[in-house]
A and B are shown apart, each in its own frame.
Chain A
Amino acid sequence: AQSVTQPDIHITVSEGASLELRCNYSYGATPYLFWYVQSPGQGLQLLLKYFSGDTLVQGIKGFEAEFKRSQSSFNLRKPSVHWSDAAEYFCAVKAAGNKLTFGGGTRVLVKP
């Protein structure tokens, strides 16, 4: 069965610093991978997705992610964090039946 691991439960980063969120997946076939962001009290918003092709994927709000098949990873990055990036971030892999399996999430705190 597929699974997603986000090793970091919390990350604190200073405003203007770079951010990297880790995601490791387990899936037997070619994965479809997603990053979603959830602001406090809100639903989930798609940041970016990977289906095929270029392994470096650009998303909204200045985020990007890199798919590394050899490492079963899909890490999310942002070069310079803004206070509005404080949120919880979820990595997910799509399995058969269009079902998503989510990681446990990483909560990002931004220090002024």
Chain B
Amino acid sequence: NAGVTQTPKFRVLKTGQSMTLLCAQDMNHEYMYWYRQDPGMGLRLIHYSVGEGTTAKGEVPDGYNVSRLKKQNFLLGLESAAPSQTSVYFCASTGGSTDTQYFGPGTRLTVL
């Protein structure tokens, strides 16, 4: 099993550009999450999904959109990137309420 994978690993954008981050998991997990990590702030939840076709807002959803068209994939979109979105983005998945969240390796995004 590959676990949780993220594409791409690094990306540099200019302000106003758009992009999509892809998260894939091969553990048949129902729940998937997108976090951003900024120094001193830990990880903050952007959006999450409790199953295929569902999405919900987390703590810091503004400026991001997500989609969960397939159970194994969870996409994070930035429609118009801003420098404040420079961060490291982590995807995670879990199978249920007592299960561990498994994290991907992260995507480092810089917005100039």
Q: A: which residues have CB within 8 A of B? A: 4, 6, 9, 32, 34, 36, 42-46, 49, 51, 90, 94, 97-105
Q: Mark B42-85, 1 if CB is under 8 A from A, else 0.
A: 11110010100000101000000000000000000000000000
Structural contact, B100 and A100, CB atoms closer than 8 A: no
Closest Cβ–Cβ distance, residue B24 to chain A (whole Å): 14
Partner of B48, one of A32, A44, A90, A97: A97
Q: With A32-B98, A102-B42 in contact, do A97 and B56 touch (Cβ < 8 Å)?
A: yes
- Given known A-B contacts A43-B90, A43-B105, A98 and B97 have beta carbons under 8 A apart: yes
Count chain B residues whose beta carbon lies closer than 8 angstroms to a beta carbon of A. 26
Assuming A46-B100, A49-B100, is B31 touching A102 (CB within 8 A)?
no
Q: Is the interface of A mostly helix, strand, loop or mixed?
A: strand
A15→B38 CA distance, assembly (Å): 28
Contact B48 A99 (CB under 8 A): yes
